[in-house]
Amino acid sequence: MGGTITCMDAMEVLDSRGNPTVRVFVGLDNGIRVSASVPSGASTGENEAVELRDGDAGRYGGKGVLKAVSNVLDILAPEIVGQDCARQAEIDRMMISLDGTPNKGKLGANAILGVSMAVARAAAASAGLPLYAYLGGPGAVRVPMPMLNILNGGKHADNSVDFQEFMIVPLGAPCFAEALRYAAETFHTLKKILKKKGYATNVGDEGGFAPDLKSNDEACEVILEAVSAAGYQSGKDIAIALDPAASSFYGDGAYDLSKSGQGRKTSAEMTKFYAGWLDKFPIVSIEDGLAEDDWQGFREHTAALGGRTQIVGDDIFVTNTEFIRRGIREKSANSVLIKLNQIGTVTETIEAIRLCHAAGWSYVLSHRSGETEDTFLADFAVAMGGGQLKTGSACRSERVAKYNRLLEIERELGASARFGFEYSRRG
């Protein structure tokens, strides 16, 4: 049973980087009141849906979101109040046409997504179901494999590491709760090791450590050292996943590894570099190993490495079915990174995941580097059939909130819960 939307409100709140973001409230005729908050990226793809910012330098240095807030109040609310909250796809389509641009540039993907998420949450509450069960149905019993970003570089940290994210994947764990324990123990062990080596143990935007390492290689080495010192077998219990976020160090036709002093590399040299890493380290997934415009490079990269590891496209696909379709046709990757705010509605995000399923590709659900305490993503991951989920390290509350919500869901599912590492390997 749905419920009629009787009121909608919106306000500006802060995200985990202290930047403003949009929170939307939805109320129903049956008394239900819910809210949802929108995340925000730093290493954004150029084709992402538009995050509307005020641009008024006086408030938050231009980053305010009052325009997006007023778009919810003045443009979206009058059309949506009175609708049945269970009509998610219809409401999302209506917002897309009210915006009328291909990239939600008029009303802002932050305004539209806030409404879309809040409507889904209201419908779940109205149906008396947890969000994962409402969106996923009775088959939503798979809890995602977490990828925990424990070492940060690139645009997420002021250090000498070029690549943005070094994640651990506790793929040998029997259940999500154990996976989280493996990861948290490794995280704490890594802290001790970094300290002993004389490195700083401050953390980056996603809660991973951000030491000034001597090389990119050392990032993998020190993680593997932590894995074994924590009592785990690397490759068997815990593997590594990377998100170099290569668009952020690509320019003038070359990949510039200058943070670590390794100079400039061509696309083919980067792929060769990763092949060398696959020989040395247990890497099960590489996301954005190349830049978003390097479609030709991605084809060669996937042909060369896709049989050995998962090749995930983030900036190149931006959760947009048009780009994912092209990727499937051209064999540009074998997996897609899925971010709700890259495309801007729940319905379109589900459509992107459906496309991955149809192609036999895996997908990785993802937070943004600027997050809030909202745990929508955790429920959404279970609703979408588990897969893999990256939402930062095991510290920083805005990340831990999602992991803690997954602990709750796994507990609630009890004996019906399923967990395991299902990922693509296809060149």
Ligand X SMILES: O=C(O)[C@@H](CO)OP(=O)(O)O
Q: Is 63 annotated as a binding residue?
A: no
Q: Is 280 annotated as a binding residue?
A: no
Instruction: Answer whether 25's CB lies under 8 Å from 37's CB.
Output: no
305 binds, among ligand X, Mg ion, none (CB under 5 to 8 A by kind): none
Q: Is 288 annotated as a binding residue?
A: no
CB of 339 to Mg ion, least distance (A): 8
**Judged by CB, which is closer to Mg ion: 121, or 339?**
339
Q: Is 368 annotated as a binding residue?
A: yes
**Judged by CB, which is closer to Mg ion: 135, or 245?**
245
Catalytic residue among 339, 348, 402, 410: 339
In 197-266, alpha helices (H)? 216-229
CB of 383 to ligand X, least distance (A): 20
42 binds, among Mg ion, ligand X, none (CB under 5 to 8 A by kind): ligand X
User: Is 339 among the residues known to form the active site?
Assistant: yes
CB-based burial, 399-414: b 16+ in 10 Å, e otherwise: bbbbbebbbebbeebe
CB of 36 to ligand X, least distance (A): 18
**AA letter at 364:** V
- According to DSSP, residue 7 is labeled E
Q: Is 301 annotated as a binding residue?
A: no
292 binds, among ligand X, Mg ion, none (CB under 5 to 8 A by kind): none
Q: Is 366 annotated as a binding residue?
A: yes
Q: CA dihedral in degrees (355, 357, 359, 361; nearest 10)?
A: 110
**Judged by CB, which is closer to Mg ion: 189, or 332?**
332
Nearest residue to Mg ion, scored by beta-carbon proximity = 314
Catalytic residue among 185, 206, 348, 410: 206
Burial of 141 (0-12, 13-18, 19+ CB in 10 A): buried
Q: Is 265 annotated as a binding residue?
A: no
Residue 82 in tokens: 């009175």
**Judged by CB, which is closer to ligand X: 120, or 147?**
147
Among residues 341, 383, 320, 331, which one has the least CA distance to residue 361?
331
**Judged by CB, which is closer to ligand X: 53, or 368?**
368
The neighbour count for residue 361, using CB atoms within 10 Å, is: 23
369 binds, among Mg ion, ligand X, none (CB under 5 to 8 A by kind): ligand X
Among residues 288, 278, 282, 274, which one has the least CA distance to residue 172?
282
CB-based burial, 49-78: b 16+ in 10 Å, e otherwise: bbbbbbeeeeebeebbbbbbbebbbebbbe
CB of 150 to ligand X, least distance (A): 13
Among residues 144, 129, 49, which one has the least CA distance to residue 92?
49
Location of structure tokens 């609630």: 412
CB of 314 to ligand X, least distance (A): 5
CB of 126 to Mg ion, least distance (A): 34
| Site residues, ligand X (CB under 6 A) | 41-44, 165, 206, 243, 245, 314, 337, 366, 368-369
41 binds, among Mg ion, ligand X, none (CB under 5 to 8 A by kind): ligand X
* Residue 375 phi, psi (nearest 5): -105, 15
104 binds, among ligand X, Mg ion, none (CB under 5 to 8 A by kind): none
237 binds, among ligand X, Mg ion, none (CB under 5 to 8 A by kind): none
Q: Is 106 annotated as a binding residue?
A: no
Nearest residue to ligand X, scored by beta-carbon proximity = 41
Q: What does the alpha-carbon distance between residue 1 and residue 85 come to, in Å, rounded to a whole number?
A: 9
CB of 377 to ligand X, least distance (A): 11
| Site residues, Mg ion (CB under 5 A) | 243, 245, 288, 314
Residue 311 in tokens: 């090749």
How distant, in Å, are the alpha carbons of 165, 225, 255, 290 from that of 269? 20, 27, 9, 11
* Residue 285 phi, psi (nearest 5): -155, 135
**Judged by CB, which is closer to ligand X: 134, or 317?**
317
* Binding site as annotated, residues: 156, 164-165, 243, 287, 314, 339, 366-369, 390
Residues with catalytic function: 206, 339
* Binding site as annotated, residues for substrate: 156, 165, 287, 314, 366-369, 390
* Binding site as annotated, residues for (2R)-2-phosphoglycerate: 164, 339, 368-369, 390
